[in-house]
Amino acid sequence: MKEYNVAVLGASGVVGQQMISVLEEYRIPVKTLLPLASARSAGRTIFFNGKEITIKEAKEDSFEGMDFVLGAVEAAEAKVFAPHITKAGAVFIDNSSAFRMTDDVPLVVPEINGEDAFKNKGIIANPNCSTIITLMAVAAINNISPIRNMIASTYQAVSGAGIGGLRELEEENKALSRGEKPQPKVFPTQIAENVIPYISSYTDNLYTAEEMKMQNEGRKIMHLPNLTVSCTCVRVPVMRSHSISVVLRTERKVSIEEAKKAISAFPGCKLAENIEGRDYPTPLDTSDGDIVMVGRVRDDLTDPNGLALWCCGDQIRKGAASNAVQILKLLIEK
């Protein structure tokens, strides 16, 4: 079996660490793993396949000899390193927003548009976490009849803000238990015992950039250039796994039975028909896994061609790290 040299850019962060774990879990044939991070994190060690490996500082010449680079850094850093990665001959699978809407960069969810990955010119983009989870839930329905529009509300875990978000919720819960007033730093206001209907920054149409990703990325991934989406993104006091409420309208009526059968058969999805006596998933049901769970499938009462559903998926895994590794796996298998 051929083995590959794989670098993880941003190896010290939550997503980077998860990428390394998934590489091992998926038994990707890695010859050499090169964990890269900032100078501040260089020198730390990680374990991979039973071996201790030292994280090195990411530099322009770090990518020589690599076959693949998994990116888990912010968009600005991804843009800096991307030319050096492609120049070295590696394929850059980038989790940031840097190249998602670039015309000649495939934006890929393997179960939905895996064939697009083979059209890459050295860079493949990983979609936004909520976009991945939502589209995984609705793709089977779109295969029956194209989706015209969606109304979505996301309930996003603090893990979406990285390690700082996780720590902030933990610290605020501890402060409240001591009778103290939390002092938010990562989020614009207290997240413990609260919800915040604002993620990212406002755009000209008063939707946030995070909210617009559902429409813009959804069009590209599902090859639906006329898709319209009205989305509200909400941060909730959940550690990991995002939840999304979706109302979708298709070109022709798709029955509840058709939708459930299609969702059940779709790779990477599970229809929640009986989880401890309930027909809906919760964030805890999907945490630490790659399956997107879907429940509460019902008719939309405002449009005869509409359906409503609820879905949950792990933001760190399927919403980020696992999707990137699945893209890599797809490339080496075919």
Active site residue 223: no
221 near 127, Cβ under 8 Å? yes
The DSSP result for 23-64, as a single string, is HHHTT--EEEEEEEE-TTTTT-EEEETTEEEE-EE--TTTTT
Instruction: Considering the candidates 233, 242, 269, 311, report the single residue annotated as catalytic.
Output: 242
Find out whether 259 and 307 touch, Cβ atoms under 8 Å. yes
Query: Which value, in Å, is the radius of gyration of the alpha carbons in the chain?
Result: 20
d(C-alpha 261, C-alpha 141), whole Å:
10
Candidates 129, 233, 269, 312; catalytic one:
129
Per-residue DSSP letter, 73: S
**CA nearest neighbour of 311 among 226, 214, 186:** 214
Q: What is the rounded distance in angstroms from the CA atom of residue 195 to the CA atom of residue 193? A: 7
Q: Is 84 among the catalytic positions? A: no
Active site residues: 129, 242
